[in-house]
């Protein structure tokens, strides 16, 4: 059920109930059994959510097993903690603590050094629920995860409290969930949902943003085979984007964006190619933002070495003049960078011996100016990291552009999941997002997280099709609580979780079950 709650299945309502069977099953287990059951829950559900990863060249079952060893124990820790609270306090207390523990585990895996992966959070299942997600401007995505986890716990409490005695266990339970506790939890969830919806309605009823900007995104749909041999296919690739740019120019956009690494090779070092590109831009008389792998022109406080390559976004004026670059800051571990390469000798089944080239990370949160409007750019999976986006908006970016190439993942749910995540980045900071993707999904997302338009063909398909889309965005200089203060909500949850764990540590264990004889004697 948890897998089906995420894109592209998009059964978001399952996010409110998917944990209920798990919670009922672990409350009165022995500690090891609760850990093991929840570990299996994590491995199976996340294997389904991340099944698209098998389309990445070189990714094998062994790597998936390693991914399971990462997600599984974290989920097992959740189940073990809930179980311990149930054993030392009672089942009602364990269910009441559930959303705190769940969000704490989500925050842990979202910020775990180079293993940080804030992907497939429970809150992401609600990306299409525009009223509920507005609370992310205060709490971040963790607020929606908390609410959904709380709803799961309250439903589990209600089922346990109002079911016939003995239905969920072969033994008589010493300390079940009381009906009073279950009703209190359900009413609290209902009240929280009402206030969340009221806040969302209030927010979306207001107008955010200044004068509209017209922007065109191009989706070249260049195959990975062509991109892996850029010299061989350079003429085709450039002609493809030249044609799309001229078509988009008929809409008179204020900015045209090409996807991540759209150019065939290092164009800043290729005089004929840069002259061709500058001539095209000057002809169209529109600023361009272009994704390109480049030998960086400069990096603050770091000497460049021969052969250093970076994943860049290049900004050109309407006259074809190169104005500056953004260099990707958050690189993909083991794909674009090698974590702790000077101190760890990674085995060949993680990093192949023939993998010699890695990219260098940028350090600057580069802000570009389109007229008087400032905007920021992030590349590929950088959009999954909320703290990174905050830094651009705090530097007065009024809208964000995401250049990406998700062709690696094939026709899978990966780009759909990525769009769901970008929805939350827009809501958290109250700024519109524009995505230019090589194979899709290229789309416009407004400040409220609504997807307002996308590149698609006559059949409605938005991935592995070529084309362009011109849409309007309203740049916003609003600064949300989340933009200014970040994960304050998550920190409060972590602190309260710490207090919960301390109370468990200092409380003497209680016997969980009565024996059949003692139960009969009591009768």
Annotated catalytic, 369?
Answer: no
20 three-class SS: helix
Using alpha carbons, list the distances in angstroms from residue 441 to 149, 240, 250.
29, 18, 22
3-class DSSP state of 362 = coil
Question: Which tokens is 483 given?
Answer: 């933009």
Q: Return d(Cα 495, Cα 492) in angstroms, integer.
A: 5
Three-class DSSP category at 272: helix
- Asked if residue 132 lies in contact with residue 197, where contact means CB atoms within 8 angstroms, the answer is yes
CA distances from 512 to 31, 68, 94, 98, 142 (A): 11, 31, 13, 19, 32
Catalytically annotated residue among 106, 359, 374, 380: 380
Radius of gyration of the chain (CA): 25
- Helix or strand (DSSP H, E) at 278: helix 271-284
Which residues sit opposite 316 in a β-bridge?
288, 322
69 catalytically annotated: no
Neighbouring CB atoms inside 10 A of 294's CB total: 22
Q: Is 191 helix (H, G, I), strand (E, B) or coil?
A: helix
| Side-chain-facing half-sphere of 349: CA atoms under 13 Å | 7
Q: Which of 328, 336, 406, 443 is catalytic?
A: 328
Catalytic residue among 106, 260, 406, 428: 260
Catalytic residue list contains 336: no
- Which residues does the annotation mark as catalytic? 260, 328, 380
């Amino acid at each position: 059920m948890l897998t089906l709650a995420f894109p592209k299945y998009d059964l978001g309502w399952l996010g409110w109930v998917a944990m209920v069977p798990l919670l009922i099953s672990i409350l009165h287990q022995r500690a090891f059994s609760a850990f093991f059951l929840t570990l299996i829950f994590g491995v199976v559900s996340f294997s389904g959510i991340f099944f698209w990863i098998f389309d990445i060249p070189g990714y094998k079952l062994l790597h998936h097993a390693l991914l399971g060893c990462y997600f599984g124990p974290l989920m097992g820790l959740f189940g073990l903690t809930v179980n311990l609270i149930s054993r030392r306090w009672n089942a009602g207390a364990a269910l009441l603590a559930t959303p705190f523990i769940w969000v704490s585990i989500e925050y842990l895996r979202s910020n775990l050094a180079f293993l940080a992966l804030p992907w497939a959070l429970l809150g992401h299942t609600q990306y299409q629920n525009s009223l509920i997600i507005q609370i992310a401007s205060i709490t971040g995505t963790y607020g929606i995860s908390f609410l959904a986890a709380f709803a799961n716990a309250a439903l589990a409490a209600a089922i346990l409290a109002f079911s016939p005695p003995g239905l969920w266990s072969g033994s008589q339970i010493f300390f079940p969930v009381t009906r009073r506790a279950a009703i209190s939890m359900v009413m609290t969830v209902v009240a929280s949902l009402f206030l969340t919806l009221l806040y969302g309605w209030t927010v979306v009823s207001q107008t955010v943003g200044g004068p509209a900007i017209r922007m065109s995104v191009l989706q070249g749909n260049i195959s990975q085979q062509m991109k892996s041999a850029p010299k061989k296919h350079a003429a085709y690739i450039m002609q493809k984007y030249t044609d799309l740019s001229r078509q988009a120019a008929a809409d008179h956009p204020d900015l045209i964006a090409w996807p991540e690494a759209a150019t065939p090779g290092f164009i800043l070092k290729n005089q004929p190619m840069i002259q061709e590109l500058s001539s095209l831009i000057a002809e169209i008389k529109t600023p361009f933002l272009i994704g390109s792998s480049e030998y960086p022109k400069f990096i603050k406080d770091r000497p460049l070495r021969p052969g250093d390559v970076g994943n860049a976004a290049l900004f050109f004026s309407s006259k074809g003049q190169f104005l500056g670059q953004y260099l990707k800051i958050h690189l993909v571990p083991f794909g674009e960078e090698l974590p702790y390469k000077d101190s760890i000798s990674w085995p060949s089944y993680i990093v192949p011996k023939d993998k010699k080239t890695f990219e260098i990370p940028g350090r600057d949160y580069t802000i570009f100016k389109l007229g008087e409007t400032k905007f920021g750019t992030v590349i590929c999976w950088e959009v999954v990291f909320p703290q990174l986006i905050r830094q651009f908006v705090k530097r007065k970016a009024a809208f964000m552009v995401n250049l990406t190439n998700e062709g690696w993942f094939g026709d899978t749910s990966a780009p759909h999941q990525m769009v769901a995540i970008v929805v939350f980045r827009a809501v958290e900071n109250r700024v519109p997002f524009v995505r230019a993707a090589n194979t899709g999904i290229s789309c416009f997302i407004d400040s409220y997280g609504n997807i307002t338009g996308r590149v698609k063909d006559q059949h409605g398909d938005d991935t592995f099709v070529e084309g362009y889309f011109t849409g309007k965005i309203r740049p916003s200089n609003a600064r949300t609580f989340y933009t200014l203060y970040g994960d304050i909500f998550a920190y409060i949850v972590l602190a309260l979780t710490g207090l919960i764990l301390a109370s468990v540590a200092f409380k003497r264990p209680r016997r969980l079950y009565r024996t059949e004889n003692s139960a009969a004697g009591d009768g």
